[in-house]
Structure 1
Amino acid sequence: MILTEERFLATYEVRRLKKKETVKSFDCGDADLNDFILNESHLYRKVLLAVSYVAENKLDNYSVSAYFSLANDKVSLNDFGCKTDFNRFRKHRFVNEKRLKSYPATKICRLGVDTSAKGLHLGSFLLDFIKSYFVINNKTGCRFLTVDAYAEAIPFYLKNGFIPLNDEDADADTRLLYFDLATIADDELDD
């Protein structure tokens, strides 16, 4: 069964974890992602480094089906091998007077889907939720979403509109990807 938007909204509630709240049960099949949500997410929140959100299944006693963690980030000259690559990146995105040395972004630090919800495309729905979260009624400027994707997760992010920021990490264990929120802003922005 693949989730539709209607079924997603009827089945799941996405909410931010409270300051000292911990998740008691979660298994996405990745020990690092499990450890973060079970043992570390509240510590990151306490020291203002990242905020975690859960997608709870309303039909299953609000069990945690997925989570994601967000932090502030930026896309800057340092992310590119040379200034020419950075200039090429920003040239078609910004007019001359808006060409800065860095641009505001939000990093998706972690995203995990419990094995009980695998195959439902819940991860894609959460990425769409995050994208709209920073476009609709946005409280601060945020142009890009970034993620340091594990090699095995890269196809998932590419399928969801993310693009490699550069080619320097093409063969690394993780790859820096970005999503330009301006590609959806015109359709989503409130007046």
Structure 2
Amino acid sequence: MRLRSTYSIKEFDCGDKDLNDFILNRATLFDKYRLSVSYACSDADSGQLLAYCSLANDKVAVTDFKDKTEFNRFRKKQGFPNEKRLKSYPAIKLCRLGVDERAKGHQIGTTVLDYIKSMFFFENKAGCRFLTVDAYLKAVPFYQKNGFRFMNSEDDDPHTRLMYFDLMDLEA
């Protein structure tokens, strides 16, 4: 379900202070000012929030790479024909993804990612080719398991890695 600016979350703990604070205190303001949209996955019986994600518009651009050569290699790898060689490509940013501690181990995070993928590929909610995420280092294996790859060969952020999922991989 999409969270609207009037919706209030009373309880959520995914084990990460920033992710908890966002869904408990800031998600509705981000929605109100159209900075991101958040979706919630709740238990049908209890109404308990099991997981949430926040999405925003993004792009994969030459500036995401150390140089133009690396970006050109990326474009070639994705199979873009010469007439579609742009300086940036539309993407959806997975800004946040949190799974409540009580719900971990039940593949809910993967289910949320599959839902997002279907929204933008099968339902074609917006013209976009990629999902991007600044993955916490401890979450990198989870994203890799779900088909995400590193955007570039080097990342200078000590806390996150820029990753992407090519929605065209769903055609295979």
Q: Classify the TM-score, shorter chain.
A: over 0.9
**Equivalent in the alignment of 1:158:** 144
Unpaired segments ≥5 residues, structure 1: 1-14
Shift of 1:171: 6.6
- TM-score after normalising by structure 2: 0.96
For 2:48, the equivalent position in structure 1 comes to: 63
Q: CA deviation at 1:137?
A: 2.2
Deviation larger for 19-28 or 46-55: 19-28
> What does residue range 173-184 of structure 1 map to in structure 2 within 5 Å?
173-184=159-170
Aligned length: 171
Alignment partners' CA distance in 1, 2:123 and 2:42: 23
Q: What amino acid is the match of 2:53? A: F
Q: Which moved more, 1:70-79 or 1:131-140?
A: 131-140
Distance in 1 between the 2:125 and 2:106 partners?
Answer: 31
TM-score, normalising length: structure 1: 0.86
Counterpart residue number, 2:158: 172
Q: Deviations over 1:94-139 (max 9, x none)?
A: 0000110000000000000001101111101111111111011213
Measured in 2, the distance between the counterparts of 1:25 and 1:171 equals 31
Aligned to 1:27: 13
Unaligned runs of 5+ in 2: none
Q: Which residue of 2 aligns with 1:4?
A: none
> Is the Cα contact below 8 Å between 2:42 and 2:49 reproduced in 1?
yes
CA contact (8 A) 2:119 2:125 kept: no
Quote the Cα distance in structure 2 between the aligned partners of 1:45 and 1:100: 30
